[in-house]
Amino acid sequence: MGRSAVDTNKIGFSAGARMFEGPVGASEASLRPLGLLGADATLNIGQTTKQKQDRAPLVVVKQAINQQSAQIQVVLHEITQDNLRLAFGLEDSDLTALAGGDVVVTNEQVVLDANGNGVLANPVKTSVAPVVTNVGGTTTYVAGTDYIFIPRDQFGRSVIYRLSTGAIPAQATLEVDYTWTRTARVEFPIGSRTTVVERKIKLEEEYSDGRKLVAIFYRAVLSINGNITVNTDGENGMSVPVTVDGLYDPTQNKIVSIYLEG
């Protein structure tokens, strides 16, 4: 890729590095690509030590590593289902997908306000005329005589407007049958999980001389870092800031592996 440039302030990954993810214990080849990083990322390795002091005056006679940690904060360049799922700390099974397509609504009750306006819960499919009746359906009202149907007002809503010369009583409750078109969508439920999601994470950057810098987190917890940013510049697209916190993996006896390949 050849995106790296010399930076005397850090050792890390530049914008343009690739990121992959999968379940803990997955092989490298099976990890899913998440796309490119949208900004430079620094890999932070923390370490605390414990010491034994003796003699007079006191000197350190023995020292050992007490704890190590690894963390990297990345900006995923695109808003995708996988990137959002990771940022929100969710599993695939937590997501709810709703297919797009036409939805038929029957007997939706609409209450007219003092001005004679009633707003439907969904924007009506304009090619299918709604059917407006009284509650119970014993009287069917006529468009243009009893009411005016407004497919879209200035807010994108579908509105029924009562005509004072028609048969609809003032501030009546109506029943409406109509069709609307639902857009396909995926729900990311926040606050429903009671356990932390752990993932295997790989970052990979190829340098201009052909070498690769690779970091593998065998167990990691991901969380959103700051705010999801939606840029107004269409060329830059969108971005998802994520913090990757490495956990000790007893099967690997390590937190993270760093490779310089080539």
Within 13 Å, how many C-alpha atoms sit on residue 109's CB side?
A: 6
Tens place of pLDDT for every residue, the chain, 262 residues?
A: 334 455 555 567 887 789 999 999 999 999 999 988 888 888 888 877 777 877 778 887 787 777 788 999 898 888 889 999 999 999 999 999 999 999 999 999 999 999 999 999 999 999 999 999 999 999 999 999 999 999 999 999 999 999 999 999 999 999 999 999 999 999 999 888 899 999 999 999 988 888 889 999 999 999 987 666 665 555 555 688 899 999 999 999 999 999 998 8
Number of helical (H) and strand (E) elements in the chain, helices listed first: 1, 18
pTM tops 0.75, yes or no: no
Neighbours of 57 (CB within 10 A): 5
- Distance between CA 134 and CA 110 in Å, rounded? 10
Both structure tokens of 94: 């937590």
CATH topology of domain 12-96+188-193+201-261: Factor Xa Inhibitor (4.10.410)
Burial of 93 (0-12, 13-18, 19+ CB in 10 A): exposed
Range(s) of the chain covered by CATH 4.10.410: 12-96+188-193+201-261
Q: Partners of 117 in the beta sheet?
A: 161
Token pair, residue 123, equals 């924007």
